[in-house]
């Protein structure tokens, strides 16, 4: 049995060697090394070419190298019942917690304005409320979203959450799909950690921004396709939003001529919020795949029918 690897990474040869050492009973090959597609039973991928996975007729399981599976679901030629395993794990979850807490605190304490004042050699103290008087809204309450929300709660923020389905998280008021407006009206800092689906594409738009409290800030570490870019610029320019921190984009790397680069109220990070560490990520992938092959429970298992 064989496993195929597709990664847009300069370290793809390292990944192959690493996974082969962790899965000695399975032959690991890179995407462009496959000579017998019928021998491929497993695939470890990130953004494979359209229709590519469907060429492996005996495919039994797909592993996404990351928490998102939208890049797999985008392949409409893929049978609906093929199991898909997300890669989350403690390392990836911890990185997202760190990113969200860091950028929420930057917005909460108005440190972007402080940094700008420093560049202009200005002494400009800003008085801000304490965390208990600031409401942070988290959109998306999967494993990463719940972890981020709980970490913000531990810092003392009032946290509200929103997801398509009902969730219960201690100390956090959670809203469902029909209650979006009630959720947004409270969110002084909005964190988007939603998966990309037909219903979440373009969800960060002018209508949504107008429902936030005046001067709210947003942090998008979900997917670039969820943001209507021109709507963001216009809403920032109108001062309805005070700042946006963006880690994901429709085109990556972000083109050099993109207006986000130079907008004074936008902070850009290069898709690093929950960047997978190859060493620990490979171990998580191997652990999940071994459990799947052995018929054991895999927490992050899904398929196209079940979606997210």
Tens-digit pLDDT profile for residues 43-83? 999 999 999 999 999 999 999 998 889 999 988 888 888 99
List, in order, residues 6 or more apart from 255 with CB less than 8 Å away.
Answer: none
Phi, psi of 214 (to 5 degrees): -55, 135
139 and 285 together in one domain: no
Average the pLDDT over 90-94 and give the result. Answer: 90
54 and 96 together in one domain: no
144 close to 93: Cβ distance less than 8 angstroms: yes
Question: Is 304 a residue whose pLDDT tops 70?
Answer: no
Q: For residue 1, what pLDDT is reported?
A: 77
Based on the residue annotation, tell me whether 271 is a catalytic residue of this protein: yes
306 or 140, which is more confident: 140
187 close to 178: Cβ distance less than 8 angstroms: no
Which entry of 250, 258, 263, 271 is annotated as an active-site residue? 271
Average the pLDDT over 183-189 and give the result. Answer: 98
Cα separation, 37 vs 156, whole angstroms? 53
pTM value? Answer: 0.91
49 and 113 together in one domain: no
Tell me whether residue 307 is in a domain. no
For the domain that residue 291 is a member of, what is the CATH number? 3.40.50.720
In percent, the amount of the chain with pLDDT more than 70 equals: 98
20 and 156 together in one domain: no
Give CA separation, 203 vs 58, 192, 193, 224, 225, in Å. 37, 10, 12, 11, 9
Structurally, the chain folds into a number of domains equal to: 2
Domain residue limits at 20: 2-87+276-302
Which entry of 18, 97, 223, 243 is annotated as an active-site residue? 223
Cα separation, 203 vs 258, whole angstroms? 21
Based on the residue annotation, tell me whether 223 is a catalytic residue of this protein: yes
Question: Is 308 a residue whose pLDDT tops 50?
Answer: no
């Amino acid at each position: 049995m064989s496993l195929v690897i597709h990664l847009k990474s300069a370290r793809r040869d390292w990944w192959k060697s690493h996974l082969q050492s962790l899965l000695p009973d399975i032959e690991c090959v890179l995407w462009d090394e496959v000579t017998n597609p019928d021998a491929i039973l497993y695939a470890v991928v990130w953004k494979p070419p359209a229709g590519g996975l469907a060429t492996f007729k005996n495919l039994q399981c797909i592993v996404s190298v990351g928490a998102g599976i939208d890049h797999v679901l985008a392949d409409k030629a893929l049978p609906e019942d093929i199991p898909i395993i997300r890669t989350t794990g403690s390392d990836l979850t911890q990185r997202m917690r760190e990113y969200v807490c860091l950028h929420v605190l930057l917005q909460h304490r108005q440190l972007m304005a402080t940094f700008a004042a420093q560049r202009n050699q200005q002494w400009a103290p800003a008085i801000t409320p304490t965390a208990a008087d600031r409401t942070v809204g988290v959109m998306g309450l999967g494993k990463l979203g719940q972890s981020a929300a709980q970490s913000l709660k531990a810092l003392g923020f009032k946290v509200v959450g929103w997801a398509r389905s009902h969730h219960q998280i201690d100390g956090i008021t959670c809203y469902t799909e029909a209650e979006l407006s009630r959720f947004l009206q409270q969110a002084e800092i909005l964190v988007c950690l939603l998966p990309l689906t037909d219903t979440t594409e373009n969800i960060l738009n002018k209508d949504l921004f107008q429902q936030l409290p005046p001067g709210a800030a947003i942090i998008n570490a979900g997917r670039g396709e969820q943001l209507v870019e021109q709507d963001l610029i216009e809403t920032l320019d109108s001062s309805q939003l005070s700042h946006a921190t963006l880690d994901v984009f429709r085109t990556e790397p972000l083109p050099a001529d993109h207006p986000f680069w130079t907008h004074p109220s936008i902070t850009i990070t290069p898709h690093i919020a929950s960047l997978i560490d190859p060493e620990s990520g490979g171990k998580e992938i191997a652990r999940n795949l071994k459990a799947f092959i052995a018929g054991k429970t895999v927490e992050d298992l899904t398929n196209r029918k079940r979606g997210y």
